[in-house]
Amino acid sequence: DRLRDLAGADAVSVRHADRLEHAADRWARSRLARSAGEPEAGLPEVVVRPADVRTVSAVMAACREAEVPVVPFGGGSGTCGGTIASEGGVSLDLCRLDRLLHVDDLSMVAQVEAGMAGADLEAALGERGYTLGHCPVSPGRGTVGGWAATRSAGWFSSRYGAFEDMVLSMDVVLPDGTLVTVDPSTRERGAPDFRQ
């Protein structure tokens, strides 16, 4: 009920199908276990799909207060089992944070939400005559937030750099719900540089 109050009733699901969809990424081990009919492990108890960063912050703060584990979920394209909710809790699906907010033509810098799929970002930039130049193994399902979280590299990294080389700043929600902006000056202020 608290999560529904924070994120909206339509953004919270306890449906088994939704929970099962968020219980694994493309990690071969979990896919093989599922196809072999092994008992379901790593099911989150609830899936929350916030629509903005303030809601992400509020959900994280509420989960911290209630001592409920949270596992972020982007496109589900990871290959290491990072989306598995081994202790249950909340799967925080960022798919609704999927917009290209701004493109500065002079500096060629784009502001993008974490849940935007890479293929959608590339198409939106292409309409303006640009390319991101980032082409990982899963460009269609991978998300900007997932790329940042995993220091994604791709087919053209030798030319354009890995994804972390493309990130100028990020708004990051910490486990306690605190929202911080990290940029090159972060290190100068003595704080960790989450871009790395």
Q: Which helix (H) or strand (E) holds 95?
A: none
Are the beta carbons of 45 and 14 closer than 8 angstroms? yes
What's the average pLDDT block by block, 10 residues per block, for the chain (196 residues)? 96 93 73 67 90 96 96 78 79 95 94 93 94 74 84 75 82 92 69 63
pLDDT at res. 196: 62
Backbone angles phi, psi at 69, to 5 degrees: -70, 150
Q: What is the pLDDT of residues 56-68, one digit of tens each?
A: 999 999 999 999 9
pLDDT at res. 124: 95
Q: Which amino acid is at 172?
A: V
Are the beta carbons of 84 and 43 closer than 8 angstroms? no
pLDDT at res. 8: 95
Supply the DSSP string of 49-85, one letter for each residue.
Answer: --SSHHHHHHHHHHHHHHT--EEEESSS--SSSTT--
Indicate the SS3 state at residue 163: helix
